[in-house]
Structure 1
Amino acid sequence: MATMTGVMLPGDRTVRHVEREVPQPGPGQVLLAVKASSICGSDIRAIYREHLGHGPEAYQNVIAGHEPAGQVVAVGPGCRRLAEGDRVAVYHIAGCGVCDECRAGYMIGCTSPHRAAYGWQRDGGHAPYLLAEERTCLPLPEPLSYLDGALVSCGFGTAYESLLRLRVSGRDALLVTGLGPVGLAAAMLGRALGAGPVIGTDIAPERLAVARRLGLVDHAVPAGDGAAEAIAELTGGQGCSASVDCSGSAAARLLALRSTRTWGRCAFVGEGGQVTLDVSQELIHRQITLHGSWVTSLRHMSELLENLVRWELRPDVTVTDRFALADAGRAYELADAGTAGKIAIVAG
């Protein structure tokens, strides 16, 4: 039986390379040659540093990587759509397929014991090959690269979903707090949907510089003292009609809310942490609509792939550093530092 080397995350900021057999696809499954597998902030927060999940949500000591894209190299019995040679991006949750959330395409919300996330409860993309359910694979259209597909698998899909929830359009000034990979995606896609100006904030000068260099924001505002006043000045004292927090920071969440104009809409996307706010003054009296938005649906992920081609956008421009699988330790160290754009592991 052929073997391969994959990457596990045992915690305590450690990367472990392990040997595994190359899997064979069963009914309804395909085997992918992984071409790109990017690193998500959730991997850093909830697996790389320490294992935070509990019960069925816990990391199960599998091969990591929940943002994969690759090429089909073997097809199991019963597959109806994919064939060898097809290029695909992978929706990173394999749900039960029959609950209400799965039927709506939101397998992220599946609560069945059969639910398994790639890289969390079943082997993910940090390996040369990935065993995937056909129903979680979406065709990757030309001219998008495998790296584009990997980024859509979670980060860009998450950003797109939040903007759809906010109904962002050309009528909106958009604020993005947190210019990590998801924030960069939200800025890029918000502009494509017509928003302007697009204002971004972050505590890291390096990430502000990435957003400026890529031209994703009209204004890059350092977070901290003076940020709220700067945003108010840039919007004629009104604030932004739409805002999205991609940081998970309590301070950034409050900044997003407080910089949303009366009757505006705000979405929280960044995971983890807590926030305390004066509900009457900051939410109710200003008629703010606050959304919690978690990943995306199969339908919206497919729609996003099509729109990226139509808009002539390439998510991979947000990747600042690429590593070989053998250098996964360095890749995770850099991602953990929180100063770079997107970090990706790519096939040679």
Structure 2
Amino acid sequence: MEFFNNHTKLFTTAFLLFVGLTLFVCIIPALDNQTNNEPLPFAQALSEEAIKGKAVFIANGCVACHTQQVRNVDMDKVWGERPSIAADYADNYRTDFWRNTATLMGTERTGPDLTNIGSRQPSREWQLSHLFNPRIVVKESIMPAYTWMFEVKDKLAEGDVSVSVPEEFMNGQKGKVVAKEEAMQLVAYLQALKQTKLPGDAPKPAFLYKKTGEPNAGSKPGATKELNGAMLYTNNCQSCHQQNGEGLKGAFPPLKGSKIVLDENPELFVDIIMNGYSGREKEGFGVMPAVGTNNRLKAEEVTAIMNHERTSWGNNGKKVTLQQVQKLMEKVKATGK
């Protein structure tokens, strides 16, 4: 009882116990983790612009709704090619002595995961329109509009980056919407978020708990399952080309009445889906990313998307077959288009 009545011994012992626990539970494991985990060989450091954009990301609380971690469960396949590993975060360093950099892994997905957003949606035009008002490109979005990162000018000056904004989102203002420096920095950071490929000899982590598909009722054994082209279009294409297929003026071309979509020879159509397209930049349209490759679309999925686009919004194109698309996917891959 004398020990508990002596405040000097009691508080000294408690302090030493706290220091010991801190050392063995926090400091030593952290040092060991730092020693055993290095950035992946092909990892690219953030540019100066992207580092400033990361600070904008933190300052605006984006981590509250967006994670940067692909979990090892099958439902996370849409966010990256593989589950995240410790090495993905090994290149994060302290901002300064007082401030940690934060890995920004997040804990909640009110919005989509951003681990691989630089590959999934690399278009600067899309990202800027989305920042100005997310409803421009995603009608159902609940993300707030970051209009204070932009200004409206009567005339564009040299070096200004204008943003395509439909009239109904201008709130009565007239002029050109121009991205401020912080908007450009934030977009640079988002474009830099790309999942690094593992070295060839490294074991690839598996996605767990895969769903087993049930065969369609009444379908014949061995018959090819028909995929939902409308759903696949919504998940992969709608954010740019819009639900009505009319695109966004000055940013994303329409698919409604498109000569490429309706062409009897679908080779260019397949090529654009798998490898992207930059042939309409002079018309003011942004570069289309390689959606098919980035999202790892299978031939069955590409076929369903193409047939949806060729037969929707008044389009009356002839449906393509799975065999056609498979051959064309191999062709555009082999020719390096």
TM-score scaled by length of structure 2: 0.24
Higher helix proportion (structure 1 or 2): 2
Higher strand share: 1
Q: Which has the higher contact order (CA 8 A, sep 6+)?
A: 1
